[in-house]
Chains A and B, each alone.
Chain A
Amino acid sequence: MEAPIRATEFLRFTLLSLLFFVCRSSPSHDLLISNAERRIDLTSHIVKVYLTLKVENAGSTPTSEILLAFPPTQVDHLATVEALVTKGKRKKTTLARLDVKPTELPDAPNGTKYFTIYLANPLNSGESTTLEVLYLFTHSLEPFPAEIGQSESQLVYYRDSALILSPYHIKQQTTFLKTPSTKVESFTSMEPTNRAGTEMKYGPYEDRPPYSFSPILIHFENNSPFPVVEELVREVEISHWGNLQVTEHYTLVHGGARHKGVFSRVDYQSRPNLNGVSSLRYLLARLPPRVHSVYYRDEIGNISSSHLRTDSRKSELEIEPRYPLFGGWKATFVIGYGLPLQDFLFESSDDRRYLNFTFGCPLLDTVVDKLTVKVVLPEGSKDPSAVVPFTVEQHLETKYSYLDVVGRTVVVMEKKNLVPVHNSPFQVYYTFKPIFMLAEPLMLASAFFLFFVASVAYLHIDLSIRK
């Protein structure tokens, strides 16, 4: 049902975009791209696109903004965009990261979405520079057939354009696609198109005007499981007694082709290479070093199939869900672990404390649709503020844990559509007086003291009425 609709939508989109490039004369900029090379990696379920652009300023005024264009269907699945610029000549090249921000243009043709790359140094007229752009798409491989049996392999569609969508004139462009195996059912041909082994080459195409678009559809085998965490809630609780407790609640789903019909354990156990190849058998979580008290459980109890390997630089937790996940099957679980506080909590120069921890999901090669990070500050902390390298939604909550009177401040950060690239450190700053650490032990001590006083009093006081 879904496929035909998508196809018509696509057709319409193509026609419209063709119309656009006919009716629009030239972009507002005088930039042009002398050479573009695009490498699309389709081996996992996260589509990685490496774009190398050689940008030339053909106009008269210097400019420092370069636009990247995306069709609206892709921009929904776009997880991240990064741009790097090569500096230096020949062998001594270094890469410098550039700012990339989403931009709205008033006259965007056909809902095209833009990202602006801000160059560190303006590009003078006649100069050229080379940009490396990396962007990742999630949920962009559409399983077809949408439902497969246990012994079938998983085939997916990938849709894109053979020509790079750009507001600039592109003199020469080539697109390479890498598929996980040599098994490609079909692909759209647009001369010159070559296929060799697991790689496909579209182009080179010469002198394409702005907003050129030529849809392609590739149908190929991708038997890697598609682990998608629909929702992940990470709770990081700081205890100034020396422990950082992390609790992660996962809702995991296999995002590949849905499982249809029988699940046969005999076949699955006896012929694992032919049966359920795309099933998700285990996951690997990369945890910080010196992790302790790791647990892996769900609503109904501990899950015994997990292994922890630790060394001085990292810890790896290999977890198996209770059952192998076939396409469309779900599993929810919780991972928790403790970490030594001194590895993550520091004092800043202005006498505040800050937690330096990793945003994102520790599971490897996983897409997270929605991530909530909660940092539970110790009771009595004030003025929390979070510094995150990308935009997140933030708010504060209060949580009551053991022996809390006023409750703990919780900094909540939410972000959608995450990929492993987002596993970068973030900081939460707050002020805390160490005297608050003593509140809870003192409360307990006084409770015990009162209990003993009451016992002593009881033994010494005679309450009987007679006598």
Chain B
Amino acid sequence: MAAVANMPVSDLLKSFKLKTKQQELLIRVSILCLVYILAFITRLFSVLRYESMIHEFDPYFNYRTTLYLTQNGFYDFWNWFDYESWYPLGRIVGGTLYPGLMVTAALIYRILHFLRFAVHIREVCVLTAPFFASNTTLVAYFFGKEIWDTGAGLVAAILIAVCPGYISRSVAGSYDNEGVAIFALLFTFYLFVKAVNTGSLAWSLASAFGYFYMVSAWGGYVFIINLIPLYVLVLLITGRYSMRLYVAYNCMYVLGMLLAMQIRFVGFQHVQSGEHMAAMGVFFLMQVFYFLDWVKHMLSDTKLFQAFLRITVTCAVAVGTIALGLGMLSGYISPWTGRFYSLLDPTYAKDHIPIIASVSEHQPTAWSSFMFDFHILLFLFPAGLYFCFKRLSDATIFIVMYGLTSMYFAGVMVRLILVATPAVCLISAIAVSATVKNLTVLLRSKNKGVQTGSTKGSSSSKASSKALLDQSQPFQKNGAIALLFGAFYLLSKYATHCTWVTSEAYSSPSIVLAARGAHGSRVIFDDYREAYFWLRQNTPPDAKVMSWWDYGYQITAMGNRTVIVDNNTWNNTHIATVGRAMSSYEDEAIEIMRSLDVDYVLVVFGGVTGYSSDDINKFLWMVRIGGGVFPVIKEPDYLVNGEYRVDKGAAPKMLNCLMYKLCYYRFGEMLTEYGKPPGYDRARGVEIGNKDIKLEHLEEAFTTSNWIVRIYKVKPPNNRW
């Protein structure tokens, strides 16, 4: 890209009497600045369309904790016991979260206030993700420069700036761990590759700190601590062992591990958890390897060395296996967690952990979402791999491994497309840069005859093309121009696709829903906030609200009320209890609710507006999760011939369970659509089966203007006389 831009601007620059090197620097810096700005502003669609607000579910928890951190200071935050969630258990917030995001935002907030920018903490939180996305483009540039050349770096920066796979998690308002974690991930990898390339202790130390930041920010650090050992192992096997690698890995591993232990949520997992054992194994293997190398250096006799090698390797393997076995048996080393298993085996969660399987972002990825999130990168990725293999080095091996493993994980879980995105962008950037460079070299060499190749990359292909050039110059030239235009066309298509995806798909806050009205005007459904604000203002401050766990974080953050379960799904039994209450008859449910001290029950209902991700559509998951712990709840009771229905033909238990009653209470009197009978559910397109719903122990406390959120109050027990 730089080469393309170079030509028209160079005349202008010559009038400024700049040297070529200065010209190049100026262009590079200005491109990077533009990319930096572009990455930021393309993520502001949501702010322009809606407002500066926090999106979705988890970000509300992060926002609430950040608020607490800025108001009460770091030590209170660290020791925070939250009474407002998981009633009556509570949650030790300081010890059960990755504090990197909150600390980062609070730090930015402090710095801005120190510089007398009187911004609100909400604005800081909303813009944290775009800011880090901008920083990621810089890291991508340096990474690309490290593994290929400057041109590839610039292209990588541009590609990653607008790549939908990354934008989906980093639009303004998406204040989630991933926002800073992708930056930390790529930065750690960059520093590690730099350390491997230079063998410098300083870079290695920097990568250890990068790793520390990543550990503090996101649970996805497990990917780093498994990928890097794997990479080292591959280098060892392919005979690329060097002193540089030894220095880089050992320093990074030891320091990174020690630093990571400072995060309370991670603690001693680096030495105790099965997921981290690979890194430790490779660490010891490195020592054995180094030792053997030293012995080989000392021993001149090859045969003796062969024998020594055999004994040492056998001993090392035996000791390692015994240590691991003993650790596993004694329970010192914990086995792999369900989440980890479900990554390796996509079907695992479906059979064993319904709570993981119930989350939509944990589903296996569909092909369409790959196309949606990567667009042309999907085709450029293999091309880039080809170029990488053609010019194999320590750095390209790393990016190839990163690309391939993360692509596998992206296929297992939708949300992990995010992790694959930087690798895909980098590899594709190599493809684009190398192709464009080859083509332009072809064009320029024709014009100026034999030109001294200022570009370093792909010299062999250049030479061969030059040889061909002499034979059929006009054809070559036209072909190159056509290919250049093709590349330009594809890249511009990519840009328009990215903008379209960002504005249409990834910029909705999902708290405020927008729809097109009958006359094409925009209709806003602000029911969630209506309900949460009602809770906040008009219920007693210690009221406990029972809802499905999806809304827990939002209720505590926006409604400021205690919830029974929330999105931190750490206690399956508690969630199952709520699921059981929702799927029981009212008089059974009231017992459960009384035992949990519930004052209000909140349900989300889309029957009036046609909003499909409501509680009735999530209800089978409640049944499954509830039934997983309490076998009284059986999924077939709610189905008719394996079919989930809410109309007249629905299962009797379905028509009378608490969730059905709460959602459809007095809905039978409501005319939702012209020409349809009253009680016509627009989300499911059927007339409901039970129109005469009587509530005995609950009463309607509040229903929002579009019925999306309905809140019921648990009545106090009747007097005995």
B118 touches A401 (CB 8 A): yes
A261 touches B530 (CB 8 A): no
Chain A binder among B270-278, B325-333, B532-540? B532-540
B51 touches A262 (CB 8 A): no
Choose from A262, A301, A322, A323 the contact partner of B53 (Cβ within 8 Å).
Answer: A301
| A264-B53 contact in complex given A332-B537, A402-B116, C-beta closer than 8 Å | no
Task: Give every chain A residue within 8 A of B529 (Cβ-Cβ).
Answer: 300-301, 322
| A301-B703 contact in complex given A331-B533, A402-B116, C-beta closer than 8 Å | no
Quick check: is B243 within 8 A (CB to CB) of the other chain?
no
| A263-B702 contact in complex given A323-B533, A323-B534, A400-B118, C-beta closer than 8 Å | yes
Quick check: is B699 within 8 A (CB to CB) of the other chain?
yes
A403 touches B116 (CB 8 A): yes
Complex Cα distance, B512 from A304, in Å, reads 10
Interface residues of A in 302-330 (CB under 8 A from B): 302-305, 322-323, 328-330
| A262-B699 contact in complex given A301-B53, A403-B116, A405-B116, C-beta closer than 8 Å | yes
Interface residues of B in 87-133 (CB under 8 A from A): 116-118
Complex Cα distance, B524 from A77, in Å, reads 42
Most buried by B among A262, A299, A323, A330: A323
Quick check: is A7 within 8 A (CB to CB) of the other chain?
no
Interface size class of B (residues with CB under 8 A): 20 to 34
Complex Cα distance, B527 from A305, in Å, reads 12
Task: Give every chain A residue within 8 A of B293 (Cβ-Cβ).
Answer: none
Choose from B512, B530, B699 the contact partner of A323 (Cβ within 8 Å).
Answer: B530
B51 touches A264 (CB 8 A): no
Mark A262-293 against chain B: 1 for CB-CB distance below 8 A, else 0.
Answer: 11111000100000000000000000000000
A322 touches B526 (CB 8 A): yes
By beta carbon, the residue of chain B nearest A267 is B666
Quick check: is B344 within 8 A (CB to CB) of the other chain?
no
Task: Give every chain A residue within 8 A of B534 (Cβ-Cβ).
Answer: 322-323, 329
B707 touches A265 (CB 8 A): yes
Quick check: is B254 within 8 A (CB to CB) of the other chain?
no
By beta carbon, the residue of chain B nearest A401 is B118
Quick check: is B515 within 8 A (CB to CB) of the other chain?
no
Main SS class of interface, B: mixed
Q: Closest CB-CB distance, B48 to chain A, in whole Å?
A: 13
Main SS class of interface, A: loop
Quick check: is B700 within 8 A (CB to CB) of the other chain?
yes
Complex Cα distance, B530 from A329, in Å, reads 13
Quick check: is A298 within 8 A (CB to CB) of the other chain?
yes
Task: Give every chain B residue within 8 A of A305 (Cβ-Cβ).
Answer: 526
Quick check: is B704 within 8 A (CB to CB) of the other chain?
yes
Interface residues of A in 326-375 (CB under 8 A from B): 328-332
Choose from A329, A402, A459 the contact partner of B118 (Cβ within 8 Å).
Answer: A402
Task: Give every chain A residue within 8 A of B118 (Cβ-Cβ).
Answer: 400-402
Q: Closest CB-CB distance, A52 to chain B, in whole Å?
A: 44
Complex Cα distance, B536 from A298, in Å, reads 12
Complex Cα distance, B300 from A193, in Å, reads 128
Task: Give every chain B residue within 8 A of A405 (Cβ-Cβ).
Answer: 116
Q: Closest CB-CB distance, A231 to chain B, in whole Å?
A: 14
By beta carbon, the residue of chain A nearest B526 is A304
Choose from B53, B526, B533, B703 the contact partner of A263 (Cβ within 8 Å).
Answer: B703
Quick check: is B669 within 8 A (CB to CB) of the other chain?
yes
Quick check: is A152 within 8 A (CB to CB) of the other chain?
no
Complex Cα distance, B666 from A266, in Å, reads 7
By beta carbon, the residue of chain A nearest B115 is A403
B703 touches A329 (CB 8 A): no
Quick check: is B318 within 8 A (CB to CB) of the other chain?
no
B526 touches A303 (CB 8 A): yes
Quick check: is A185 within 8 A (CB to CB) of the other chain?
no
Interface residues of B in 295-330 (CB under 8 A from A): none
| A323-B526 contact in complex given A329-B537, A332-B537, C-beta closer than 8 Å | no
B116 touches A323 (CB 8 A): no
Quick check: is B377 within 8 A (CB to CB) of the other chain?
no
Quick check: is B79 within 8 A (CB to CB) of the other chain?
no
Task: Give every chain A residue within 8 A of B669 (Cβ-Cβ).
Answer: 266, 270
| A404-B537 contact in complex given A263-B701, A301-B529, C-beta closer than 8 Å | no
Task: Give every chain B residue within 8 A of A301 (Cβ-Cβ).
Answer: 51, 53, 511-512, 529
Interface residues of A in 380-418 (CB under 8 A from B): 400-405
Mark B497-537 against chain A: 1 for CB-CB distance below 8 A, else 0.
Answer: 00000000000000110000000000010100110111011
| A261-B699 contact in complex given A298-B533, A301-B529, C-beta closer than 8 Å | yes
| A262-B533 contact in complex given A302-B51, A400-B116, A402-B117, C-beta closer than 8 Å | no
Quick check: is B242 within 8 A (CB to CB) of the other chain?
no
A-B contact pairs, 29 of them (CB 8 A): A261-B699, A262-B699, A262-B700, A263-B700, A263-B701, A264-B700, A265-B703, A265-B705, A265-B707, A298-B533, A301-B529, A302-B51, A304-B524, A304-B526, A322-B529, A322-B533, A323-B702, A323-B704, A329-B538, A331-B533, A332-B537, A400-B116, A401-B116, A401-B118, A402-B116, A402-B117, A403-B116, A404-B116, A405-B116
Counting from the closest, the 7 A-B pairs by CB-CB distance are: A265-B703, A330-B537, A302-B51, A322-B530, A300-B558, A301-B53, A304-B524
Interface residues of B (CB under 8 A from A): 25, 51, 53, 116-118, 511-512, 524, 526, 529-530, 532-534, 536-538, 558, 666, 669-670, 699-705, 707
Interface residues of A (CB under 8 A from B): 261-266, 270, 298-305, 322-323, 328-332, 400-405, 459
Known: A322-B530, A323-B533. 5 other contacts (CB 8 A): A263-B700, A263-B703, A264-B666, A265-B707, A323-B530
